[in-house]
Amino acid sequence: MPKNGISAEALRANSELLERLRTSKLNSLKLDDVKPFSTQDPTLEPLAVQLMHYIVSFALNEGQKVSVRVGNKRYEWNGQIGACARGGPVGDWFNQLPSPECLQAVSAGVLARVNALNKVVVLSMRGPGDLVALHDKVPAETMSRERNTSTGQATTIESFAACNPVGRPNQATSDCGWSARYVGQCLAQRSGDTGPRTVRLKLNSAHPRSFPVFVRVCAGIHGCNHVDYGAADPRSRYIKHIKSDALDGPGDTVDFTCPANGPAGVGIVDEANSTFEQVGYFSVMLSEPNFSVDVKFAGSNGDGVRYPAKEAELFRYREGAFYGNIFDSVPNDARPDGVLFDKQYACYGEDWDQGAANLADRLCALPASDAAAQCFVHEPKPCSPFNGNPGACIRSAGGRRSIYTPCDETGANWKYPVTVYLNHPCDLRSDSECSSFKRWLIDRSLR
């Protein structure tokens, strides 16, 4: 799954690199004469490396990589999404010069991952046609959002780190050596329920061993430890333990209460149902590293449980859209530290009660009024008609795959925006409880 985490400074500081990319095939890219690679500037070179990571990961497929040598130093960046890969809808950047459509698409994908809050957050990116494929299952996250202050990288949740000595967890309460499985969806409550709903998962028949498999269930999309982080730790807000248990053999079960941590409304799980529902999300960890060993839901289809759940089921909150061309954008002289400059744009979805404030926090780490005066060169607009504003884009039909496209700015028509969906409305907020926001608004016209 793609993650949000590039700094806006990486876009401002690398115009020479972006120009070289715009005129190069990725399979023969040369950077030995491009600053800051040529100068090995200790401040700017990490920003260029970061920018290349996000560009290549969006442009190329998994299994493809860009390798570049500068002096005695070798750089490698891996593909992930494949928007500009062979057979894709906007050309083959690896073997050919990038098409204008490819540059638009990659620009949108990079802008969608800008984060001024120094977090690494999982998000769902969606685009027109087959630009971005949605996953049928989503792995449980093994990394926290917070970066290590020394390395700048997201930190591994302790239970996924190796044990000492190396091996599997030796009991259900161990906090090392676990293997991530997938994220599921459950029905936390429905109108008329008399109490919490229980989810039952059972071990599949692929486990041939005589010793038990330990299972751990966590709330949300992240894995967890047996002992939760303290209340003062920001990780405690999204990494939560539900249950750890031992499964003795195929068919053995684990029961737990569905967490009420997802969206609520009419027809959330069953669109034909006219009663109030709230969904929950849970992630599964196992002691067994063999991925043929997993659990499955032990119940009926009407119980509202999906394991593994699809990406479109897990990411329902439509944040907004990002679009433009980072490869043909010049930083603004009047606002040299500005965000969304020249041909770079963003808009906020109508699901937001305070969409401008959300993007100001996410992109500038400032309140909306300060961001307009100090940060944004192009202030974000509503994506579609809202409160009398005509909106910057057209919102497509398509249920949970609904996107914004095309988008218009200053007379230019951008056909390859990236629409961002979140797992939780507070995921990209500095205040993870969103206490500065009114209640989240759910747009029931696009379930």
d(CA 313, CA 306): 9
Residue 163: other Cβ atoms inside 10 A: 15
Chain mean position to CA 306: 20
The closest of 321, 344, 291 to 393, measured between CA atoms, is 321
Q: Could you say which residues of the chain have pLDDT below 70?
A: 206-209, 270-273, 300-302, 398-401, 432-433, 435-447
Chain mean position to CA 344: 20
Residue 276's pLDDT is what?
84
pTM reported for the whole predicted model = 0.92
Residue 245: other Cβ atoms inside 10 A: 17
First to last CA, the chain: 21
Residue 182: other Cβ atoms inside 10 A: 21
Residue 436's pLDDT is what?
58
Q: What's the chain's Rg over C-alpha atoms?
A: 23
Residue 154's pLDDT is what?
83
User: Cα torsion for 15, 26, 93, 410, to the nearest 10°?
Assistant: 0
Give the torsion sign (CA, 57, 59, 64, 69).
negative
> Looking at the DSSP assignment, which residues form a beta bridge with residue 184?
282
Residue 410's pLDDT is what?
77
Residue count of the chain: 447
Residue 361: both structure tokens together: 């926090």
> Looking at the DSSP assignment, which residues form a beta bridge with residue 245?
215
d(CA 381, CA 348): 6
Chain mean position to CA 145: 11
d(CA 180, CA 175): 13
Contact (CB, 8 A) for 258 and 198:
yes
**Phi/psi at 206 (nearest 5 deg)?**
-85, -5
Give the torsion sign (CA, 82, 86, 89, 94).
positive
E strands within 127-197? 143-147, 154-156, 179-190
- Residue 75 parent element (H or E): strand 73-78
51 secondary structure, DSSP code = H
Residue 222's pLDDT is what?
97
d(CA 351, CA 425): 10
